[in-house]
Copies of this chain bind each other. A is one copy, B any other.
């Protein structure tokens, strides 16, 4: 099967890292294709950038030429999943939701640890609307931006691992969801510090997407995610303008 995995920002290097992480857990026979939006922010850290990403991802996906069996939207707490579900019939999997859903099979409660404080509300909203918030112990942030993560990875690992530890000890989380990507050593450090399972959203989403495809399940078209009604729409795909 073929799965499209869409980055929500315009940084190609991140798309590559995401696709690589996806491939690492994909089944033999599953092809992973990374997509980078043609416009938007170099990193998504707020509602404006996330709304722009929503359209940019839809834009990129609908213009994709070729067959595919599922789409993964690879951003934490981002807008847009519902729009993709309307435009497509194949399953659409949001990594925030896949991670939470997976974590709930492993412990009674989970916490998400993310980068900037300002992205916490977006992740919470996504979990609330996704019906996955009841067993969320907390969404914590390390206070570091994506950029700082790259410029000082060691400090970033410690900052995030420290928040994970607080989540386990203070918020009583039993599983940690890493709400940011790209650091192999991060996962190891959190496991070492906290002694709890750590879920990576991209990898969880690949499993969910493959599972839905294997079961022949597709998005319900009966109401919320019905195809858009025929009407005059301009400016979409945006890049076609």
Contacts and interface: CB of A to CB of B under 8 A. Distances in A.
Given A47-B82, A220-B196, A233-B42, A107 B211 contact: no
Contact of A241 (B40, B50, B208, B241): B241
A39 B234 contact: yes
Interface string A208-241: 1011101101111111111011011111101001
A158 interface: no
A38 B85 contact: no
A145 B214 CA distance: 31
Interface centre among A25, A82, A235 (most CB of B within 10 A): A235
A199 interface: yes
Interface of A: 10, 25, 27, 38-43, 45-52, 54-56, 58, 79-80, 82-83, 85-87, 91, 93, 97-98, 101-102, 104-108, 117-118, 120-121, 125, 128-135, 145, 168, 172, 174-175, 194-197, 199, 203-204, 207-208, 210-212, 214-215, 217-226, 228-229, 231-236, 238, 241
CB-CB nearest 5 A-B residue pairs: A39-B235, A107-B220, A207-B211, A131-B135, A131-B134
B45 A234 contact: no
A190 to B, nearest CB: 12
A85 B124 CA distance: 18
Given A80-B51, A233-B41, A235-B52, A108 B228 contact: no
